[in-house]
Structure 1
Amino acid sequence: MRPTRPTRALLAGLVAGSLLLTACSDDSGDGPDAEGSASPSSSAGTASASATPYLPVPDGVELTPQGSELEVGEEATVAWEPKQDKVGVLSIRVDRLEKTSFKESFGGWQLDAATKKSNPYFVRATVTNAGDTDLGGLRLQPLYIVDGNNTLVEHSSFASTFDPCPSAPLPKKFGPGKEAEVCLVYLAPGKGELTAVSFRPTQEFNPVTWTGELQQVKKPGQGKKGKKSGKGKGGGRG
């Protein structure tokens, strides 16, 4: 099954003093909406690469086939159009999936009733600019999670620093070859479960997905190999 349209994270009432946590989501129809789509997903080992890339990329860049299903720790090279006539190419390695709680990570934030009904997750990844365009300041908008209701959930953004997981745009200067470690915050409505991470920039795109075990939230100074908090592997695909 393919996920339904992106859902808007419910953060309107999440306020701490003068700090406001907001989610940027586009329900206008420009983003991916899989209703009515029947094209199947393929595994990374069986997905066949097209003779030509789905977007123009620099010579020598090989895009990961659409429909590839990866495990946490594996890397995909993907492309999307963040702006008209501007193509971004990123190598993305999803490093870690974390399930947290509002009590553990959002101490001091005032949560409204709708927000309390969601489940918070952190997704940590390493991204490298594999193209020839400066992607500074852009959000990783096509990178969603898929919840237990087969819905795409876009990551949240912050009006100021959120130390546990910044969920910030790419660095202001992010030219070719630059690398950054990122952490993105997702709120799955209705106590939804994170079942996969999905790169899907358009409705027509057959998504590239990652699945893996949910782990405990990284503590300050903790290395990438944190203690695991669950044994079940995410079963959904984007």
Structure 2
Amino acid sequence: MSSISMRKTTLAAAGLAVAGTLVLTGCKDGNEEVPAAPAAPSSAASAPADGYATPPAGGASSAAPGASAGGYDGASGAPAAGGGAVATSGQSFKIGQAATIPFTSGSKSGQLALTVTSIEAGNPADLASLNVADKVKGQTPFYIHYTAKNTGTTDLSFASVGHIKGLLDGGAESGVLLIAGKFDKCPNESLPSGFTTGKTQASCAVALAPTGAKVTGAEYWGDPYNNLNKPAQKGLTWK
């Protein structure tokens, strides 16, 4: 077999391995989607999948705001265009405190001020209409409310923020449930049309905790804080 043929075979096998991983995790933007009860179609399209999954680990940090736990290219705490400093890898914030982050979604990139505003305990009965009882049995939903403000200079219309997961007491990660469709208890939609500098949108992420446990913190692990080529990267946390 020629070296070129061997290389093609190796690349094909690697491609199959990656595809297998995606099937097993079933994640999109870090959160696996489950279908909601029939509802009016959303203005932003999404590709639902069944069940729920926990996103890749992103270790919480007790680093004080401004401290770096590894950093990343182009955003090591330098002043941001919209004011403040870009959050560094592993940085920790208090609930209600904004983190300035570089943001990329598909072909769009810019800058956001991301703030986890509150974490609210729900009721298992809240999920009854989603027809996922077998997948959430023994779990209590918690609603992570957050806001995203455009502090950059680009229009981020229809971009999806996502990549928010819950942290249980002690720092363990919660399960995450992303709803495909309308869920009044915890609405989560793409950024609206005309999301230009200064615009803000409130959103929500559903975190699942075993009965008796509580979700007391949240983590953002979107790019570049989830850079798999740099294992030292850690997400941003709110507690």
Q: TM-score, normalized by length of structure 2?
A: 0.63
Matched pairs, number = 195
User: The residue matched to 2:146 in structure 1 has which SS?
Assistant: strand
CA RMSD of aligned residues (A): 4.0
1:185 Cα deviation from its structure 2 partner: 2.2
Q: Which moved more, 1:179-188 or 1:51-60?
A: 51-60
1:7 Cα deviation from its structure 2 partner: 8.6
User: The residue matched to 2:153 in structure 1 has which SS?
Assistant: coil
Name which one, 1 or 2, has greater alpha-carbon Rg. Answer: 2
Distance 1:152 1:116, change over 3 A: closer
- Tell me how far apart the structure 1 counterparts of residues 37 and 53 of structure 2 sit (CA, whole Å): 25
Task: Indicate if the aligned counterparts of 1:167 and 1:182 stay in contact, CA closer than 8 A.
Answer: yes
Which one-letter code corresponds to 1:209 in the other structure? T
User: The residue matched to 1:151 in structure 2 has which SS?
Assistant: coil
- Tell me how far apart the structure 2 counterparts of residues 25 and 109 of structure 1 sit (CA, whole Å): 12
**1:145 maps to which residue?**
166
Which one-letter code corresponds to 2:234 in the other structure? N
1:79 Cα deviation from its structure 2 partner: 1.5
| 1:156 is aligned to 2:174 | no
Match of 2:236 among 208, 212, 215: 208
Task: Indicate if the aligned counterparts of 1:158 and 1:166 stay in contact, CA closer than 8 A.
Answer: no
1:107 Cα deviation from its structure 2 partner: 5.1
Distance 1:209 1:33, change over 3 A: closer
1:32 Cα deviation from its structure 2 partner: 4.7
Q: TM-score, normalized by length of structure 1?
A: 0.63
**2:113 maps to which residue?**
91
| 1:101 is aligned to 2:123 | yes
CA displacement 1:194-238 (0-9 Å, x = unmatched)? 242111221443221101xxxxxxxxxxxxxxxxxxxxxxxxxxx
**2:191 maps to which residue?**
170
CA displacement 1:75-133 (0-9 Å, x = unmatched)? 1111232235x433110121110110122x34544333122233211111222011122
Task: Indicate if the aligned counterparts of 2:98 and 2:116 stay in contact, CA closer than 8 A.
Answer: yes
**2:96 maps to which residue?**
73
**1:132 maps to which residue?**
153
**1:82 maps to which residue?**
105
